[in-house]
Structure 1
Amino acid sequence: MSLTIYFLRHGQTECSRNNSFCGSIDSELTPEGLEMAKAFADAYSSTPWTAIFSSPMQRTILTAKPLCAAIEMEPQLRDGLKEINYGLWEGKTPEVISREYHDDYIRWLADPAWNGPTDGEIAITIASRAMQVIEEIKRLYSSGNVLVVSHKATIRIILSSLLGIDVGRFRFRLGCPVASVSIVEFSSHGPLLKVLADRTHLDERLRNLPGT
């Protein structure tokens, strides 16, 4: 049996609903976000889980909570799974950022691997800390199903790193809407992307909510 990692993005927050940048802001889930967490637990509680890892932010812990309760397993919290720190852009929409930090924003859009948000993190830094967690998981568990609950940019950066995609293109190569699941299987041939950004565990109402 091979190791399979399920990457789950947290459920809806006020920031994701309003399309504003939320990295270090420790936001909670909206009522709809809590519904998304329960829908994931309902759909995946029968999966034989080996371990659960989560970012220590409230929105990820609350997303993992219904599944953890259902299968009686505690999440292992890792700072490396936190979202990118958006610095002075935290809580602002792209429109406001483009107006107030225009040059930094243009550089970040062109190559976020080496150009960070104003006073924020670059993607290479996120890749380094997040991939340390993935390597830890691979070292601890040679087989089984492991859930990783994290964030939009962080998951896309991890997937880019695993699949050989330029980290500087993570925003334009991989989708990761709220409460979506991406699945990577590890074998002797390396990581294989089996599923990208699946949301079939959500009903149509939750899938069609505004915001990402």
Structure 2
Amino acid sequence: MLSLYIVRHGQTEWNTEHRMQGWQDSDLTAEGLRRARALGERLKHTDFQKVYISSSKRTEDTAKAILGNRQVPLEKEDLFREMSLGTWEGKKQEDIEKEEPERLHAYFHQPTAYQPADGESFEELEQRVKRALLMLTDRHQSGNVLLVTHSVFILMLLNIVKKRGISEVWNSSYIHDTSLTLLTIDAAGTITIKKEGDGEHRESTVSL
């Protein structure tokens, strides 16, 4: 049995400014680091055989905060990147709302009608997430694997596991920063969702 622990990166500066990130990056906030360390405390007894991260620095910093002093092989992989948002990246959502209201509405409410401006479509993201999942299941048949990635990537992965169309991609639990989604995959390839967007650790009052 493979257990896949899937985590969204910690809160970033651009998250607090409501800027679209996509393939671009910004630093984790102090709160983002605290929540990542709190998740690490929650998972301290889980023995990870491998850690995968996207090529974004925010996932690397989050993974390192979760692991602390633990020495676990860590691999960067472009397949795990967030959905590319093209010309929107770095812009505040409120400004995009003024400049391209119809495109933004399609992004959030009509994913199959969304036409990206130099970024990825939801169809392209779906194919990439399927390749990422296949890579993981080809490489790992058992044990515990940690994947630190991004919110829309995780939502698309959940959508695929639930065997739903792209129009349903937003209809899963909200993926807060550092939230935990846990999938188990048995020898027959059956995927079970054990946790979805679980943020139990996020409000921990423990000083870390």
- Is this a same-fold pair by TM over 0.5? yes
Give the alignment's Cα RMSD to 1 decimal. Answer: 1.9
Larger helix share, 1 or 2: 1
Gaps of 5+ in 1: 207-212
The 1:169/1:92 distance shift into structure 2, 3 A limit, reads farther
Q: 1:198 to 1:60 in 2, by over 3 A?
A: same
Which range moves more in the overlay, 18-27 or 47-56? 18-27
Letter in 1 for 2:6: F
Alignment of 1:46-65 (within 5 A): 46-65=45-64
Map Cα deviations across residues 13-37 of structure 1 (whole Å, 9 max, x no partner): 0122233211122211011111122
TM-score, normalization by structure 2:
0.90
- Whether the aligned pair in 2 keeps the contact of 1:84 and 1:154 (CA below 8 Å) is yes
- TM value normalised by structure 1: 0.88
In the TM superposition, residue 113 of structure 1 has moved relative to its aligned partner by 4.1
Aligned to 1:70: 69
Note if contact 2:5-2:144 (Cα within 8 Å) is conserved in structure 1.
yes
Whether 2:177 is the aligned partner of 1:178: answer: yes
Residue 17 of structure 1: aligned partner: 16
Equivalent pair of 1:37/1:62 in contact (CA under 8 Å): no
* 1:81-120 matches, cutoff 5 A: 81-113=80-112, 115-120=114-119
Please show how residues 140-151 of structure 1 align to structure 2 within 5 Å.
Answer: 140-151=139-150
Deviation of 1:140 after TM superposition, in Å, equals 1.3
Partner of 1:122: 121
The change in CA–CA distance for 1:130 and 1:203 in structure 2 (over 3 A counts) is same
Name the aligned partner's letter for residue 199 of structure 1: G
Q: 1:205 to 1:16 in 2, by over 3 A?
A: farther
Q: Distance in 1 between matches of 2:158 and 2:173?
A: 8
1:73-127 CA-partner distances (Å, limit 9, x unpaired): 1311110110111112112233221210123223323432452432221122122
Determine the structure 1 residue equivalent to 2:195.
Answer: 195
Cα deviations by residue, 1:11-68 (Å, 9 ceiling, x for unpaired): 0001222332111222110111111221121221210112111101010000001334
- Greater Cα offset, 139-148 or 116-125: 116-125
- The structural deviation recorded for 1:130 is 2.4
In the alignment, the residues of structure 2 paired with residue 103 and residue 67 of structure 1 have an alpha-carbon distance, to the nearest angstrom, of 39
CA contact (8 A) 2:185 2:191 kept: yes
Tell me which residue corresponds to 2:135: 136
Q: Percent identical across equivalent pairs?
A: 26
From the superposition, tell whether residues 142 and 28 of structure 1 become closer, same or farther in structure 2 (CA, over 3 Å): same
Unaligned ranges ≥5, structure 2: none
| TM superposition outliers: structure 1 runs of 4+ over 6 Å | none
